[in-house]
Each structure stands twice: as structure tokens, then as C-alpha cells.
């Protein structure tokens, strides 16, 4: 199934450039993850795309403050339901990733996972990107960052992190849409 066409047909907005996200999925296709932790899920479109990298029955944890109106909230709920219908265990959290109550609940869900994928696309302030990284980086083996090219604060956080104990790579479609802002990947060495 072409999941990008599927999202468009079902009016689920995607805040990433399609070419960048496709390249990331191709690059990671040889891996098999059993956990997706996505910070900044918006309408859930990127989780639907990234679910192709997960083993059947995997766990998907989505965090978003859902501050973008009723349509976005309904789309988020629809995406969560669709992922559950595909056999994934879905845990949506409405709120901020920095909320210690939310973090505690997430830690209890992910304590037994070792082959996880973390996607950080939440609050784009340098300190908050670094906080998201430090809160969850040790629980996964691969970390994605959105907006590493065009957002100065995310780029600053990226440069604080990527040289430390990780193999890094950036996917950027410089001729793409307004959403072509780069996706950085960190993999444990």
C-alpha cells in the first residue's frame, strides 16, 4: 500500500517532506523495530509511515499536546485507531513530552524494549529537543530528528548530540516542499 496516498485520501496531514521520509524508511528498512516512540505526532501521519519499519504487534507511543484544533485532534484519534486495527499496541499521550507524569508512564511501557525507534519532532526549542533526547535516548537504538536543516534551534541541538557515540546521517530534499527541512538519524555504534 502507498501510505502517502493513503494519508492524503484520508485527509491526514504530514509535516515531513515525502521524499525525505521515504529515504529514511528505505535506509532503515533492513532493521526491525519493536517500538516507536514519537514526540510531536501532530495528526499521526508520520507514525503511520514509520509503522512500516515495525514488527507485527509492536508498540507505538505517541505524544502530542494536540493544540492545533478539533480537526487535528480527530485526525490524531483516527490515526491511532487505524494503527490499532493493523495490530499495533498504541498508547497516545496528550500533553508535553517534558511532563514528568507522562515520562514516568512511558518509562513503564518501554522498560523491556531494546530495539526501539525514537522520533523527535516536538517542541523545537534547543533545550526541549535536548531534554527529549536525554529523557529517552538510552531506551532506543535509533533516533530520528525532524527539522535539523531549517530550524536553527533543532540544528543547534543536533550539533550538541550527533558526534557522541552515534553514527549519524541527514536526509534532506533541497528541492522538496516547504516541509523539506531535513531528517537526521542517529544510530548507536
Query: pLDDT truncated to tens, each residue of the chain (189 aa)?
Result: 789 999 999 999 888 888 889 999 999 999 989 999 999 999 999 999 999 999 999 999 999 997 778 888 999 999 999 999 999 999 999 999 999 999 999 999 988 776 799 999 988 889 999 999 999 988 888 999 998 887 888 888 888 887 777 888 888 877 666 655 889 999 986
The pTM of this model reads 0.92
- Alpha carbons within 13 angstroms on the beta-carbon side of residue 137 total 17
Determine the pLDDT at residue 176: 60
Determine the pLDDT at residue 177: 62
Do residues 144 and 170 touch, judged by C-beta distance below 8 A? Answer: no
Determine the pLDDT at residue 71: 86
Q: Beta strand pairing status for 33-39 and 54-64? A: parallel
Q: Beta strand pairing status for 142-146 and 183-188? A: antiparallel
b/e 20-32 (16+ beta carbons within 10 angstroms → b): bbbbbeeebeeee
What is the CATH number that goes with domain 16-181?
3.40.50.150
Determine the pLDDT at residue 92: 96
Strand intervals (E) in 142-182: 142-146, 166-171
Amino acid at each position: 500500500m502507498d501510505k502517502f496516498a493513503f494519508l492524503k485520501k484520508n485527509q491526514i496531514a504530514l509535516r515531513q517532506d515525502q521524499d525525505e521520509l521515504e529515504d529514511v524508511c528505505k535506509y532503515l528498512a533492513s532493521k526491525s523495530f519493536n517500538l516507536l516512540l514519537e514526540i510531536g505526532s501532530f495528526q499521526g501521519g508520520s507514525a503511520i509511515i514509520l509503522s512500516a519499519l515495525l514488527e507485527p504487534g509492536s508498540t507505538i507511543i505517541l505524544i502530542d499536546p494536540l493544540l492545533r484544533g478539533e480537526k487535528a485532534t480527530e485526525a490524531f484519534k483516527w490515526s491511532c485507531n487505524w494503527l490499532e486495527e493493523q495490530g499495533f499496541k498504541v498508547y497516545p499521550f496528550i500533553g508535553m513530552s517534558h511532563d514528568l507524569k507522562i515520562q514516568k508512564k512511558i518509562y513503564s511501557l518501554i522498560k523491556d524494549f531494546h530495539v526501539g525507534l525514537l522520533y523527535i519532532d516536538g517542541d523545537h526549542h534547543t533545550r526541549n529537543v535536548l531534554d527529549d533526547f536525554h529523557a529517552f535516548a538510552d531506551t532506543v537504538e535509533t533516533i530520528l530528528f525532524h527539522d535539523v536543516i531549517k530550524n536553527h534551534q533543532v540544528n543547534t541541538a543536533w550539533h550538541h548530540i550527533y558526534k557522541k557515540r552515534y553514527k549519524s546521517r541527514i536526509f534532506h530534499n533541497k528541492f522538496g516542499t516547504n516541509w523539506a527541512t531535513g531528517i537526521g538519524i542517529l544510530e548507536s555504534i
